[in-house]
Each structure stands twice: as C-alpha cells, then as structure tokens.
Amino acid sequence: MDRNEICRVNVGAATVREHLIWDEYLLRACEDGQIGPSIRTWVVNEPTVVLGYSNRPDREVHMALCRQRGIPVLRRTSGGGTVLLDAGCLNYSLILPVAYHPSMASVTLTNQYIMEKQRGLLEECLGREVALKGHTDLVIGERKVSGNAQRRGRSTVLFHGSFLCNADLGLIDKVLAFPSRQPAYRLARGHSQFLINLGISVSDLSQAVLSYWVKNSENMTDIIRSEAIWKDCSGRLEQSSKPWR
C-alpha cells in the first residue's frame, strides 16, 4: 500500500467519549509513524454535547437541562464551536501528515484544502449547490449542514467534523445556548433557523465520504490499541473537562 494513500481505519468505540479519545490516539499514532493518512466515519447512539476546546459550558450549553435529561457534556481537543451530536449526524475524522500535501502547512490553507474537497463531494452526492461559509461551515441556501475543526500536532493534522443528515434540530435548540461567537452570515438566527438537515441517510453519506477519500477500497485496517497510549490520551481528554466536573 502506498503510504501516501488515505486508508480507512476501523476502531472499537461505543461512546462519544471513546470516539474523542480515538481521535487523539490516531493523531499520536500518525505522529509516531505507526499509521499513515487515515480516515474514519462514526455515529453516536445517544445525544451528546461536545464543546470546542476553548468553549465555556456555562455560556454555550443549558447545563441544567442536560443534567435533567442525562445528556453527557464533553470537550474535544480541537477548536470551533459547541455541537450536539445524535444518531442523525455523520461524523468523520481525517488524520493527515503535514507532508501529505503542501496545503497542510498552515491552519488557513488546511481549512481551504479540505473544505473544498468536502464541499465538492457533498455536491456530487446531493446533486445540488453547496457553499463554504465562514472558515469551515458548509451551507445549502445560507443554512448550515456541516461544521468542522482541526487540531495540529508536530507533524500531523487531525481534521474532523459532522454532517447533519437527520439530526434532531429541535433538541439542539433546547440544549445549546445561542453561541458566544457566530459567523457573519448567521445574522443572529437561532439554531432551528440557521441549521438544516441534508435529508440523506447516515449510511449513504458515510459510504460517499469514504469512497471519495479512500481511492483503493482495499486500503482498510483495524487498529489494535496500546493501553498505555490510550490511558494517556484519555487523561488528556479528562483534563480538558475538569472545569465543570
């Protein structure tokens, strides 16, 4: 297998917390040369709030309602805004060495490079116009269908995001406060007026995303985790969530 070809990786994860740890784990594995360019798609079984690294839960989330409904609130290691993930969202994680493409050299160029590819694959999949707004939002008719973020290591980039396929937009409206920061094109719209579902099944979009990025369907591998590295990555995630625990 060409080490510069993107490979699909399969991991064993049952919760959003485990998926977030796996993102950190795969970033580290690529940094250490254990894996090359990789992608995975994943879905969640229960609604979970995920904060961006610098977000404050008391500002971005209706915490009392989350406690009442038993909705977990976690923090990822990348930037960007707060999201509510549920079974109607398709999530993806791209792990790319900086050497993979010249555009990996900076945050701005990486955003432009990957988001243009994601925009193109979504247009191809839906047969309708998709635009890039803000830094990393994909929109249809001025309404957001995908949000994305990145985390940079020494020599590797983790780029991940989610697509609203058939998400519970009403629950998003109830659980998430109006964001502390908003892109200009949002125009102070509430979540249910700003977001829109793609109306495509999670499984169909997952297949489209994987087929777009993984050119050789045989480029697939199962990751067997190292418990020592897993513990370290888990500790990093726990540390970032301490302020409200």
SS3 127: coil
Which pLDDT does position 31 carry in this prediction? 93
3 pLDDT tier (thresholds 50, 70, 90)? low
242 pLDDT tier (thresholds 50, 70, 90)? low
DSSP 11-52: ----SHHHHHHHHHHHHHHHHTTSS-SEEEEE--SS-EEEE-
The DSSP output letter for 157 is E
Helices (H), the chain: 16-31, 57-60, 63-69, 107-126, 169-175, 191-194, 202-213, 227-240
The model's pTM is 0.93
Nearest to residue 84, comparing CAs of 60, 111, 68? 60
Cβ contacts of 238 within 8 Å, gap of 6 or more: none
- Structural domains present in the chain: 7-244 (3.30.930.10)
Which pLDDT does position 102 carry in this prediction? 96
pLDDT one-digit tens code per residue, 98-112: 999 999 999 999 999
Q: State yes or no: pLDDT of 226 exceeds 50.
A: yes
